[in-house]
Structure 1
Amino acid sequence: MLSVFSRFSLLSLVTALVLTAVTAGTAAASAGAHEPDDVCIPGVPETDPLDAGPVEICMSVFQPADAAGNNRVPVLLHSHGWGGSRTSSPGSFQRYLDAGFGVVSFDQRGFGDSGGKAHVQDPEFEGQDVIAVIDYIAGLDWVERKGPDDPVLGAIGGSYGGGFQLAGAFTEIARTGDTRFDALAPQITWHSLPESLAPQEVVRSSWTSLLYAAGAGAHTSTVHAGFAEGVATGDWPATMDEFFRENGPEFHVEQGRKLDIPVLLRQGTSDNLFALDQAIKNFDRALTGKARRDSLLVGYNGGHALPNALPAGDAVAGDACSERLAGSYQELELRFFAEHLQGAPPELDGRGQYHLMTAHGDCLTVDSVAPTEDYTLPDITTTTAAGVPRAVPIAEGPLTIAGTPYLDGVVTALGLDSRAFLALSVGTTPADARVIQNNMLPHREESLNLGAQRSIELPSVAVRVPEGESLFLTVSPVSDMFALHGSRTPGGMQLTDLTVRLPVPQRTG
């Protein structure tokens, strides 16, 4: 298995490609491009004694050439991915400006020219910072308003730049019962940070190590201490659960809050940091029924997409669903905002549906991603801490799957803190079966267990299993996505009375 540290160069390259894909088309310079106005405003002061002090949040304001007090326009709020900074060069966001939108790109606290430390979308810090930026936008005389201090406002950005959108909107709802955002377009972002960084408290070590390194200068003392504890013990520290607890839609949904605005969710079906299930949970749980009927979820093969080497995974790059809906994601996003911010006729198809690119490159459009069909599996025994992956046949193709599968059965763990890693895979035989879209999830038994009923969530997928190939369940004692975070003691795990519940669409497009 590759060590975490030997993968840093590859991970850095993957992250750079992700950020490039998310921001593609925003920096196409044009002759005589308008210079943005650079502005800094007060943010929430830091309160930690080690970091205490005033904070400024800095932004670049892009005003369309024909926008003025007598010709007001909507604004799109933009921010960067983790470890990045705002987009400020002349000519950036030209396609949005040409389409009649102003753009405000800002440095989140701890990055770029903004001060403070990164609290990773904490409502009391980044959430309040977003509100301060919206207050500033509302005071610009060329910005269209729905009322006093209420601009016509959308938002764009991916990963951490998608997280700010949800943090800002939910923080406003928590404060006032409503948000001034009129539409959001978050890409490759999360529903729950603890679930993404450490599902079942098993750390996605390849990604957490990279993210820690990329934001080293922005971390709070709490994160520094938590990372050191995790490296020393191999466990997900309780302090990290507390630090991240409120920093995503999951927390707000638990408090009874939902977004009542249209959202264009774009997620990587082969993303193995903020995986497809995170967008599905946002779509299903974080939106009101009315908002969901006006929203779209578009899955593409990409995102934080690191290939699985152990066990071997498989995916192809592309965005077939955006291409089918509007020709490209860039065009889909512009049409989405034109409808919801500029009053264009509602001509986009596919609202309220899931549009998921498959592992083999086509697009599935479905009305539900819930399990619909059950398949019985033989008993499975796997070693823990060391060993080789095992692929267990489920069904022969042709078979279509789109959504989140589950494995139900009785689990017996013959060791302390036993961990196994599971995923669906496709191949002609168990020997050549490859993990669908490069994503695995752990199952963890913290103590000796002589048999307990479990329902295990498997990675969300979209795949057409062709005739001549089969669907498998891959069970492995190790996964390179969770390097150094396998079982704590040698032993074994037995799974019996097994049923896999698959989301086989009743209707596909």
Structure 2
Amino acid sequence: MRVRFLFIVAIVLTPLLSGCNSSSDRDDIPEELTREIIINSQAPNDSNGNLTTAITASLFLPDEHRNGQAYPLIIHSHSWGGSRVSSSELRNMVPATAASTSDYGSQVNSQLAALREAGYAIISFDQRGFGRNGDDGDNGSEGGSHGMSPDFEIEDAKAVVQWAVDEWQAGRLNLLADGDDPRIGLLGSSYGGAFQPMLAAEDPRIDAIVPSMTWHNLEASFAPNGVLKKAWLIAICNKVVDEDGAELSTEMELACTQVRLDDSREIEDARVTENLFFDNSLASYEADPTFRMPKVDALILQGVRDTLFPMNEALKMRRYLLSGGGDVKIIAHESGHSGVRSGAGSQGPIGQAYCGSIDAITTIRRWFDEKLYRRNSVALPDICVALDNRTGIRVSSIAPASGSYRVAIPPSTTLQGISENNVRSAANEALFYPLGQPITQSNLILLGTPLARVTVNAGVTNDDPTPATGPNAAGIFIGVGILRNNQIYLVDDQVQPILSTDPRTDGTQQPIELVAVAEKLEVGDRVGVLLYGKHDLYENHPIGSNELGTNWDGNVATVFGTVDLPIIEANSLDRR
């Protein structure tokens, strides 16, 4: 049976042309410089049994092509539930900035127009199973989506690279090259960001990438510490059959069935996802002791308040890509996948793609200009992290929290899922344990990964709705909180789950990383930890809905221990 679905989250589904106006100059792009193409991937088509899979793509050539000049190539792909950029879409694109009103994904895609105008060839392709709703006159790429499998989607992407190289060697493309090595960059966000580092791992012909709001380890994003991020997973899967958004492989069909079950809470309740999530990640390459990451220059764009792929993913991706010897930067801004209810205790709507004075969107073209055209270098810090929508900090590295700011969680602390933690409020329903003293310095910030050392046990009355798949597990959800002006709020909307069955919580209190945060502190702030018995992101309703979750209602957990907060001095901030 063919199963099709559409990702309903606003930042992914907003049309590619959202917020863009037509341009008469782009309407005049000569027809001979645009072409819709089909590329045969050697990865099998598991929908019909064919040994190859047809991948649909659009080719856009720069004006330099008509003059016989050489140019670099950018390969682009789309977010989940989307489709490639077609010729008509490119003609209507206006290059955006971080200040544009269009959504973040559209801002990234709009840079294709800027890149073509700046002298780049573009190939935008449909991931297998996608492209069914495009206006490009075809049915999209064949096959069913495997969710970014090295054996399928990455093989497809390698076929796109090889097609371009073959066209160049045949004299039909004038690719800029170093000897027999053409200069190739990759672009895309979310699902379209994930293929980039994995393709660069397998194809050393990739010179520069810009992975944006994406993952390093899909398991750590979708099921941190073994707990299913249900609200997001349901949103990803719950439009199956309703709309012609994609075709799924059999494995992906089963994964969606399991994660959408009302009672499922842990990855053990959705067994097919255990290997699927991890294998479809750059982290799986890192885990192979025989594999060596090739050199690739990477500009990683990530959202500090991204609740699907948090900043931890960018930090881990950077660490691994650096092992290959490339130039790897991070711009962590205030945009990304949001989906958090804006109530009491919320920090409000998600922000823009700025880090202080750095516009992450317009930096994309400048990055490729430096790395592929070898034009003026871009003056970027190793890491820039937004502290709010107007302020950022530039650093060379981010260290884990030390013990200088340690919060104590007292013995016999009990959390219950029956309370409406985060159903109507992001913080007020949680237990708040602050540092012993308020903030007294004006130059302190939160920056980095908190470390928890806790003992978690299931309470006597704990009720795990799926005991058949494992022990009677209980869970806690930990975030960083600030009490300011008599209001507690959850920093960057981020929480991390920890199960009573986690061996690190059995009394040895081994360090457990929480979600990385970044925030400017004020004198008088009470900074601490927020503890929940359940949390909106992990409940059995779609992200952004007003529904009430039930899968954690029977949760009863006891916890005690400490949490180290990443509070540091920052005497030089970048503001716009």
State yes or no: 1:436 paired with 2:491.
Answer: yes
In structure 1, what is the equivalent of residue 534 of structure 2? 478
The aligned runs of 1:188-207 (5 Å cut-off) are: 188-207=213-232
In structure 2, what is the equivalent of residue 176 of structure 1? none
CA shift, 1:300, in A, is: 0.9
TM-score, with structure 2 as normaliser: 0.77
State yes or no: 1:500 paired with 2:532.
Answer: no
CA shift, 1:137, in A, is: 1.1
Give the 3-state SS of the residue equivalent to 2:174 in structure 1: coil
Identity of aligned residues (%): 23
State yes or no: 1:356 paired with 2:397.
Answer: no
Within the candidate set 336, 339, 343, 1:303 is matched to 336
CA shift, 1:469, in A, is: 1.9
Q: Distance in 1 between matches of 2:142 and 2:250?
A: 15
In structure 1, what is the equivalent of residue 479 of structure 2? 423
Q: Distance in 2 between matches of 1:486 and 1:310?
A: 22
State yes or no: 1:240 paired with 2:285.
Answer: no
State yes or no: 1:127 paired with 2:135.
Answer: no
CA shift, 1:213, in A, is: 3.4
Question: Does the CA-based 8 Å contact 1:296-1:354 persist in structure 2?
Answer: yes
Give the 3-state SS of the residue equivalent to 2:156 in structure 1: helix
CA shift, 1:204, in A, is: 1.1
Q: Distance in 2 between matches of 1:422 and 1:410?
A: 13
State yes or no: 1:284 paired with 2:308.
Answer: no
State yes or no: 1:403 paired with 2:452.
Answer: no
In structure 2, what is the equivalent of residue 111 of structure 1? 130
CA shift, 1:406, in A, is: 1.1
CA shift, 1:28, in A, is: 5.6
Question: Structure 1's 47 and 156: CA in aligned 2 closer, same or farther, altered over 3 A?
Answer: closer
Q: Distance in 2 between matches of 1:192 and 1:339?
A: 29
Tell me how many residue pairs correspond in the alignment: 483
Within the candidate set 137, 141, 144, 2:164 is matched to 137
Q: Distance in 1 between matches of 2:272 and 2:445?
A: 41
In structure 1, what is the equivalent of residue 353 of structure 2? 319
Q: Distance in 2 between matches of 1:393 and 1:147?
A: 60
Amino acid at match of 1:34: P
CA shift, 1:27, in A, is: 7.8
In structure 2, what is the equivalent of residue 377 of structure 1? 407
Q: Distance in 1 between matches of 2:44 and 2:239?
A: 21
CA shift, 1:330, in A, is: 3.3
Deviations 1:105-149 (A, max 9, x none): 00110011110011111111111111110111112332222344x
Question: Does the CA-based 8 Å contact 1:306-1:438 persist in structure 2?
Answer: no
Structure 1 runs of 4+ with >6 Å offset: 23-27, 447-450
In structure 2, what is the equivalent of residue 44 of structure 1? 42
Question: Does the CA-based 8 Å contact 1:477-1:486 persist in structure 2?
Answer: no
Amino acid at match of 1:314: Q
CA shift, 1:501, in A, is: 4.1
Amino acid at match of 1:384: Q
Q: Distance in 2 between matches of 1:26 and 1:86?
A: 19
Q: Distance in 2 between matches of 1:301 and 1:26?
A: 25
Question: Structure 1's 459 and 118: CA in aligned 2 closer, same or farther, altered over 3 A?
Answer: same
Amino acid at match of 2:317: N
Q: Distance in 2 between matches of 1:279 and 1:28?
A: 35
Question: Structure 1's 10 and 347: CA in aligned 2 closer, same or farther, altered over 3 A?
Answer: closer
Within the candidate set 24, 30, 35, 1:34 is matched to 30
State yes or no: 1:89 paired with 2:87.
Answer: yes
Stretches of structure 1 lacking an aligned partner (at least 5 in a row): 1-7, 173-178
Question: Structure 1's 307 and 135: CA in aligned 2 closer, same or farther, altered over 3 A?
Answer: same
Question: Does the CA-based 8 Å contact 1:413-1:451 persist in structure 2?
Answer: no
Q: Distance in 2 between matches of 1:104 and 1:34?
A: 16
Q: Distance in 1 between matches of 2:572 and 2:297?
A: 23
In structure 1, what is the equivalent of residue 424 of structure 2? none
Deviations 1:249-283 (A, max 9, x none): 11111124324221000001110001111111101
Stretches of structure 2 lacking an aligned partner (at least 5 in a row): 94-111, 132-139, 420-428, 463-471, 541-549
Deviations 1:455-500 (A, max 9, x none): 222211111111122212111111111113864844222213x241
Within the candidate set 432, 457, 478, 1:391 is matched to 432
Q: CA RMSD in A?
A: 2.9
Amino acid at match of 1:37: R
Deviations 1:274-321 (A, max 9, x none): 111111110122332732xx2210011111112245884315512332
Question: Structure 1's 15 and 312: CA in aligned 2 closer, same or farther, altered over 3 A?
Answer: farther
CA shift, 1:9, in A, is: 12
Larger mean Cα displacement after TM superposition, 239-248 or 156-165: 239-248
Give the 3-state SS of the residue equivalent to 1:344 in structure 2: coil
Question: Does the CA-based 8 Å contact 1:418-1:447 persist in structure 2?
Answer: no
Question: Structure 1's 131 and 457: CA in aligned 2 closer, same or farther, altered over 3 A?
Answer: same
Deviations 1:202-222 (A, max 9, x none): 111111111113566421111
